[in-house]
Amino acid sequence: MSTIEVVGLDADDTLWHSEVFFERVQRRFVELVSRYVTADVDVAMALEEVNLSNLARYGYGIKGFTLSMMEAAISVTDGAIGTEELSQILAAGRTMLDHPVDLLDGVDATVTTLADAGYRLVVVTKGDLHHQQAKLWRSGLTDRFERVEIVPEKDPATYRRVISSLGVTPDRFCMVGNSLRSDVLPVLEVGGHAVHVPYHLTWAHEDADHDGSVPTLDHISALPAWLDGA
């Protein structure tokens, strides 16, 4: 076993699918709203602008996203959108929240292998407290995790606090996730290990540049072997 004692795993698009549902709802939003605007209006862009402008206020998660869709639907159509379409947007948000958790391929076997090998496992995730807790319950993975840290932002200060509260030094902690900006770079900055497992869709907001030296795995099932060699 390696010098790494605790493995932190991101949740959305690392343990289970998430962005794919946002993209699907966003396509439906564009379809519903486009009937009320001229062809030159970029409805998706208008939504993204409202979404980003509300991020400091709403934080991450589906509820804030749905509120931003409602706001954008009204503003981009100058109030012409119908309440029938607005109801459908609200319903799309509820459907996302109620959606069964859809684990990524290989996740169940990998976290079981890691837990059996004696690694302490924690989930470290942004997003909405209530919904992230609900997803973890639904995932069936709860018993393999020591704890869940739902944090408002994934920055170096947050990782310092989380690692310290786990009672380990940063060199004994490894974070695994699909976002360079949130899961990898801030952890390396505080002296921890980090592994990038890209997802096929990445919200532009989570993108970041790096110099190519970040450990990257094509698939989470390669993680146990990588950790044992670290």
Please report, as ranges, the residues that interact with a second copy according to CB under 8 A.
54, 57-61, 63-64, 66-67, 70-71, 74-75, 77, 79-84, 86-87, 90, 93-94, 97-98, 128-131, 133-134, 150, 152
CB 56 to a second copy: min, Å: 9
Are 188 and 196 a contacting pair, CB within 8 Å? no
CB 74 to a second copy: min, Å: 5
Cα(82)–Cα(163) distance, integer angstroms:
49
Smaller CB separation from a second copy, 62 or 227: 62
Amino acid present at 174: C
Are 32 and 18 a contacting pair, CB within 8 Å? no
CB 85 to a second copy: min, Å: 10
Are 206 and 227 a contacting pair, CB within 8 Å? no
Could you tell me the two tokens for 72?
A: 């954008």
Smaller CB separation from a second copy, 77 or 110: 77
Smaller CB separation from a second copy, 121 or 150: 150
**CA separation (Å) from 197 to 90, 151, 190?**
32, 20, 20
Smaller CB separation from a second copy, 28 or 131: 131
Nearest partner of 118 among 222, 42, 6, judged by Cα: 6
CB 220 to a second copy: min, Å: 26
